[in-house]
Amino acid sequence: MTPTTETTVGIGGAAESTDMVLNIGPQHPSTHGVLRLKLVLDGERIVHAEPVIGYMHRGAEKLFEARDYRQIIVLANRHDWLSAFSNELGVVLAVERMLGMEVPERAVWTRTLLAELNRVLNHLMFLGSYPLELGGITPVFYAFREREVLQNVMEEVSGGRMHYMFNRVGGLKEDLPAGWTARAREAVAAVRSRMDVFDDLVLGNEIFRGRTRGVGALAPETVHAYGVSGPIARGSGVDFDLRRDEPYLAYGNLQDVLKVATRGEGDCLARFEILLDQTHNALDLADACLDRLAELPPGPINQRLPKVLKAPEGHTYAWTENPLGINGYYLVSKGEKTPYRLKLRSASYNNIQALTELLPGTLVADMVAILGSMFFVVGDIDK
């Protein structure tokens, strides 16, 4: 790496001993979420950073307690609006575990397929928007082109573009439309054929590499201390993925296709590379699920449920490998039709706390590059 030289010009009389407090945000209310960073600066260098959250808090965990087990899905899929299907999944898995319910095989494989398509949609958003934050406008147009291809098949099967509401306790809302698997396979192939755009246009760009390589290195010790997970943790060499290490859905049968990518550098570039590797692998997993669905005989896609669904008294914890990291759902039931308590552990909440360790010592000019590489959704922080 080329050594850098810092030159300070025109320091006033009292500036050498004066710290400046700078608020980054809260931004305009029409942005995709409101996060505030309170920075203490010594010149151009950050000496202290504090994420200030809560501007979007909607009290989802409290609202869970006043909704029955069918209704809470609509709340659960909204905190990370880029991963709505995966959010629904964690809730229904927790309820099904409480009920001791076995889900039909077709539902298991279809859920796995849709979860991986949702993963690609999530990652494409960040693959396009992260270069945009560093001044490169072109990649976001390619990212949205590929997202539209996949959004079309997700919308056809579920009826929703962002909040799919396709999961149900016991399976899925309804069976797949006629010919949908063929259209989904075509969409996956079309997206895969154009993914080299990100390899060439973004990773091959020397300005992008210069802004991200060696910047914002996150140590594995910090990952463990703050409970960081997902692509950010794997970018720091923490080799943990629930799909491989504690398989759920059909992932136990996909171990030969599932590849967990890791990097040792822990910098912004490593996190972006992990995201790109995971997108390639999610497309492979989607193809494997489509192959398996083609082999399965016709059958039910869900379980018949009673008119009033009550979970037995007790508690359970379900966790899933969401696109942004580990989502956990701690469900407590008193035997009623509503949860007594449903605690949500969202990936972005833990991931963003690591900024207090990551930003001090870095330059203000690198702050946007570091913040963008944390790949968070503000609603996933505030819940």
Tell me the pLDDT tens digit for each residue of 5-35.
655 555 554 455 567 888 887 765 555 668 8
Report all structural domains of the chain as residue ranges with CATH numbers, in order of start: 20-52 (no CATH), 60-381 (1.10.645.10)
Q: What is the value of pTM for the model shown? A: 0.91
The pLDDT tens digits of the residues spanning 256-305 come to 999 999 999 999 999 999 999 999 999 999 999 999 999 999 999 999 99
Q: How do residues 106-160 score in pLDDT, each as one tens digit? A: 999 999 999 999 999 999 999 999 999 898 899 999 999 999 999 999 999 999 8
Region 214-218 average pLDDT? 93
Phi, psi of 323 (to 5 degrees): -55, -35
- Choice among 236-245, 313-322, 373-382 with the minimum mean pLDDT: 373-382
Which contiguous run of DSSP H or E holds residue 356?
A: helix 355-358
Q: Among residues 52, 74, 288, which one has the least CA distance to residue 163?
A: 74
Asked if residues 349 and 380 have their Cβ atoms less than 8 Å apart, the reply is yes
> 309 in helix, strand or coil?
coil
Tokens coding 221:
């010790």
Tokens of 193: 């054929």
pLDDT tens digits, one per residue of 53-99: 888 888 889 999 999 999 999 998 888 889 999 999 999 999 999 99
* Confidence class for position 237, pLDDT limits 50, 70, 90: very high
Helix (H) or strand (E) holding 153: helix 138-158
Task: Find out whether 344 and 319 touch, Cβ atoms under 8 Å.
Answer: no
Q: What's the mean per-residue pLDDT of the chain?
A: 91
